[in-house]
Amino acid sequence: MLLIPAIDIIDGRCVRLTKGDYATQKVYADDPVDVAREMEAIGFRRLHVVDLDGARSKHVVNLDVLRRITRETSLIVDFGGGIKSEADLEQAFEAGAHLATLGSIAVTDRARVLSWLRTYGAERLVLGADVRDGRISINGWKEESALQLMPFLADYLSEGLRHVLCTDISRDGLLQGPATALYASIMQQFPDCQLIASGGVSNTDDIRALSAAGVPAVVFGKAIYEGRINLQELIAEYPQDTL
């Protein structure tokens, strides 16, 4: 199973929110690059970086942090938050992101995302599907769209996108366990989907349950920063030597 630590950034610092509420932010490190280095030293090979300032501002903001992470580690970084234009996308790639997560733009401008898929290829793009009560939320989770999750996924997967980052907003940051049944149902309906589960992971048993459900990858952050998971033991159980 691919294990992906998350670094969420506000004002250049590593933070976590609860259910996407900016008023709940808690700072865990002043320098996200230090956190990235630590994750690499433990044995992780992939990193999920979220520009929360970008998600709120509707354009990428924390490119300097992304640039430092990709220069000072060899982690494979997927970057999201505020990518609304091709300029945003290009800036993220130029700053060293290996993959870009497309959330709100995939709801508001399908044609543009499909053009990016043709230009950059499926291996560089991740479809962000942030879900609340079965519907896709956008713009930093502050707005709910009319799109239902499964048709949304079916549409983009039929167009050739492969990587999907699905977050159950109702569980995000609560450390009460992930929406394993939801992710299992996605894998049953779309067995070739490279699904990344996100939201609610509280301990190693949660990760084992996701693996048993056939989920190929998981993003988690708060459980790391709150000391809920022994990362050395986790890496020993799920070696990350190859991607």
Contact 228, 204 (CB under 8 A): no
Residue of 51, 53, 130, 206 with catalytic role: 130
SS3 184: helix
Active-site entry in 8, 53, 78, 206: 8
* 205 part of the active site: no
Q: Which of 90, 109, 98, 107 is nearest to 69 (CA)?
A: 98
DSSP assignment of 146-178 equals: EEEHHHHHHHHHHTT--EEEEEEGGGTTS-S--
- Provide the token pair at 53: 């300032």
CA dist 133 and 111 (Å) reads 26
**Catalytic residue list contains 130:** yes
Q: Which residues are catalytic?
A: 8, 130
